[in-house]
Chain A
Amino acid sequence: MDGYDGGAHGLTSLYAVDALDPQEAAAAEAHLRGCADCREELVEVREALAAAVADEPAEAPSAALRARVMAALDDVPQLPALPAAVAPAASASEPDDELSRRRARRETDRTSAARAGGTTGRRAPRRWVQGLAAAAAAVVVAGAAVSGYAALQWREEARSAQQVALAVTQVAGAPDAQLVDAQGGAEGWGSSRVVVSRSLGEAVLVPTGVEDAPSGRTWQLWFVTGDAARPAGTFAGAGSAAVLSGAVDGADAVAVTLEPAGGSETPTSTPVAVYPLTA
């Protein structure tokens, strides 16, 4: 279409240098999942680039940096190996794709039990609540790590993971907790839900089946009141349950849009999911 030969095949080497716009990068990733030749090309181009990067840069890494990294190992739990069957094909650039799959499996098990109850507005079953909290504790640390936080914040992250887990338990366990299914649900958001407690004024996103946002973009949550949308936090990766920022107040709905990395002041795209809240 632009006279540039190759279609999705032709995107591979540009993807290897991270030179694609977000939409193109998403197309390249989709193509790579199904094209062994392009995966091979990607590996080779990356090897060639890494080889071209100086082994001995003008300024070597400082001893202090090494010491900080070694000291931080205590705070960084190692992930278990993946079962061979789900080993990612295009790996390096999506190091955490498998996390979302593991999560998705866990969540599917859990929510299929929860789904028995019917539609919007029911109480969250206790088993589901407990499982949800455990999942939040296990995965939030990992999710935070890949979304670009400074590694020095690891200790802080671990603490906040516990806080998220606690908050999720509180919201989902509140007497007036409502479990709201996504309406719309484009781009893999169809199975996601929001748990909201009006009495606590808090809402939690349960991103079942949701994939990482494309490179350079982020999922962003919104409290919608009438036709005004209030930012409720960004959600870069497929990670775990997240507590929305800000109070529910009189919001009519929660919505999710895809925004440029860093988030937006107001939504700039059509929501991929909307969760209507009852009064």
Chain B
Amino acid sequence: MSGGGGTGADRERAVDPLAASMARVAAGDRDAFGEVYDAVAPKVLAVTRAVLRNPSMAEEVTQEVLLEVWRQAARYDPSAGSVGAWATTIGHRRAVDRVRSVRAREDREDRVVAGEGRVEYDEVSEQVLQHEDESRVRKALTGLTELQREAVVMAYWGGRTSTEISAQLGVPVPTVKTRLRDGLQRLRVDLARGEPAAGSAS
């Protein structure tokens, strides 16, 4: 969909060295699991910490995600993405589910006990980048416009829905969706070209 690539893109994708380790993990090899852990745990922790903004919760979710990697190793499908992206995706989803269920519970409780002990989740954009490795994320997102970057950071690193972002920025939902979608397409194209985001260490 990004110009020439089309459906051949996933065959052209670089071979993920961790895919071989995953095959061994699937056979119950703990050393191989250790390799996978060392490669993906930092990313999973980074993304869960950004979304949850609570170090102990982030560790807890990271632990769940890595055990899920162990449990599901035989079902990992290399054609559906790298091991790192797979684990990061699971981590993001779980962190987001947890934040949203906490918010939902607080919203319900707020109707009864107004505002008591409420955790503040509302100062997303800039602070997220302080929890996260700031310069690294900024570098990866340099191809985006400022508005796109803001929307992508709030959605991914802040764990917010487009509806929530709309309310927070005071712009219409369709506008938020357009910024997000355009920003994410740009990020995707940059990665395909080997631009900023692809230069990852290890």
* CB of A68 to closest CB in B, whole Å: 6
| A contacts with B, residue count (CB < 8 A) | 78
Do A4 and B140 touch (CB < 8 A)?
Answer: no
* CB contact list, B90-128 vs A, under 8 A: 90, 92-94, 96-98, 100-101, 104-105, 108
- The answer to whether A216 touches B100, judged by C-beta atoms less than 8 angstroms apart, is yes
Complex Cα distance A79/B55, Å? 30
Provide the residues of chain A in CB contact with B136, threshold 8 Å.
Answer: 52, 54
Asked if A66 and B37 sit within 8 Å, CB to CB, the answer is: yes
Closest B residue by C-beta to A146: B68
Which A residue's beta carbon lies closest to that of B25? A78
**Once the chains bind, are A61 and B68 in contact (CB under 8 Å)?**
no
Shortest CB-to-CB span from A228 to chain B, Å, is 19
CA distance A154 to B66 in the complex (A): 13
Q: Is B169 positioned at the interface, with any CB of A under 8 Å from its CB? A: no
What is the number of residues of chain B that contact chain A, defined by CB distance less than 8 Å?
A: 91
**Contact call B181/A55, Cβ cutoff below 8 A:** no
Please, how many angstroms separate the alpha-carbon atoms of A216 and B202 in the complex?
A: 34
Report the minimal beta-carbon distance from A83 to chain B, rounded to whole angstroms: 11
**Contact mask A2-19 → B, CB, 8 Å, 1/0?**
111110001001101111
Question: Are B7 and A36 in touch, CB under 8 angstroms?
Answer: yes
Docked-complex contact B63 and A69, CB < 8 angstroms: yes
With contact pairs A13-B184, A55-B43 given, residues A65 and B63 touching in the complex (Cβ less than 8 Å): yes
* Chain B positions within 8 Å of A154 at CB level: 67
Which of chain B's residues have a CB closer than 8 A to the CB of A142? 71
Interface contact A216-B132, CB-CB below 8 Å: no
Footprint of A on B, CB under 8 Å? 1-2, 7, 9-10, 13, 26, 28, 30, 33-34, 37-38, 41-43, 45-47, 49, 55, 59-60, 62-64, 66-68, 70-75, 77, 80-82, 84-86, 88-90, 92-94, 96-98, 100-101, 104-105, 108, 131-133, 136-137, 140-141, 152, 155-156, 159-163, 165, 172-174, 177-178, 180-181, 184-185, 187-188, 190-192, 197-198, 200-202
